[in-house]
Amino acid sequence: MKGLLNWLFGAKRRSRTISFMIVIISYIVLSLMISTGNLSRLMMSLLVPVCAYIVAALGLNLNVGISGELNLGQAGFMSIGAFTAVILSGIFSANGMNPVLILLICIIAGAVMAALTGWLISVPVLKLQGDYLAIVTLAFGQIIMSLVNNLYAGFDANGLHFAFVTNTIELGEGGKMLISGPMGATGVNTASSFTAGFILILCALFVVYNLIDSRNGRAIMAARDNRIAAESVGISVSKTKTLAFVISSCLAGAAGALYALNYSSFVATKFDFNNSILLLVYVVLGGLGNMSGTIISTALLVILPEMLRFLQSYRMLIYAVVLIVIMLVSNNEWLKVKAEQMKKKLTSKRKGVQ
């Protein structure tokens, strides 16, 4: 037993173990609260969105915290996954497929489509650095939102029908519009669940931590710390950064699919620039490269505005103040020194007890 604990909480695996424990314990506690009726309807309605945002934030942390590239287009990849899921869900639901199987296929398809788009975008984009990269990814996110905002898609016995800008689709008997331009996705057959979100978070953590601890992960961090030195020892910086960018896009697409199939309707503007900034806020407040912190900060900051809704017009003011306070506290050198001293004291006491 002692050997197992040393393995789980050793220096190499401690952060991984803590992240998985946070997710598993939270799931168990929330499931018990749901089964006993102690969780309000408002909180229950937020469970799937929180899971979706956590997965997208973990992907963004891989891109920003581990790879060191500022990506402001994460919401754009979420929208690709979301609307891919809407189209596939409409097709499969018409054929009477099992909702769990539909959700699984939609998440995989959304992740693949977002990853493919991320790979295509990364070829020209990752030649840029710093502010230039941020501006280009921001522009990409806005372009994706504008394209989807003008897209019309319908399904009938003759198959899928698409139109752009103007709705020229004429559906046959029993046909159904899946995407209606500015009105967004309508009549979506919901299939997402809290359990599916929990499993997706575990999968995201597994992918992220295994990449970080792998040879490719070390190459990504070496390229982040010193590009010239990394290239001098034979590391292909472009390949490592592309890998991180594609996996980040993949996780965002999966998160978008989970999010989309939780609502019967939503609009493309849900995945606008503000959403990308919110995801970046979750990552920065949780700590760059800190996956456990990202999980906690995302959950708190998604729930907080809804918890403050009773304050009406003051809720966003309080939300902004809380963000500022958290940022100041998390970047306070004096508090960091005190926390480090306390950590050393606890470690020394633990060794003394042993």
pLDDT tens for 244-274 read 899 999 999 999 999 999 998 888 888 888 8
Mean pLDDT of 29-54: 91
Mean pLDDT of the chain: 84
Percent of the chain at pLDDT exceeding 90 = 29
CA distance 36 to 202: 25
Question: Which residues are within 8 A (CB) of 157 and not within 5 positions of it... i.e. 6 or more apart?
Answer: 172, 173, 174, 175
Q: How many CB atoms lie within 10 A of CB 220?
A: 28
Token readout for 219 is 């190459």
Considering only residues 202 and 314, tell me which one the structure prediction assigns the higher pLDDT.
Answer: 202
Mean pLDDT of 324-349: 67
CB–CB of 263/188 below 8 Å?
Answer: yes
| Structural domain boundaries in the chain | 17-34+46-272
| The model's pTM | 0.87
The interaxial angle of helices 41-61 and 194-212, nearest 10 deg, is: 20
Cα dihedral 101/252/244/120 (nearest 10): 90
Q: Is pLDDT at 134 greater than 60 in this prediction?
A: yes
CB–CB of 287/294 below 8 Å?
Answer: yes
Q: Note the pLDDT tens digit of each residue in 67-125.
A: 888 888 899 999 999 999 999 998 888 777 888 999 999 999 999 999 999 998 887 77
Question: Which residues are within 8 A (CB) of 266 and not within 5 positions of it... i.e. 6 or more apart?
Answer: 82, 184, 185, 188, 260
CB–CB of 114/288 below 8 Å?
Answer: no
pLDDT of the residue at 113 = 94
Find tokens 């010193």 and name the residue.
226
CA distance 304 to 11: 33
pLDDT of the residue at 330 = 62
Q: Tell me which residue of 260, 296, 285, 246 sits closest to 26, measured CA to CA.
A: 296
CB–CB of 205/59 below 8 Å?
Answer: no
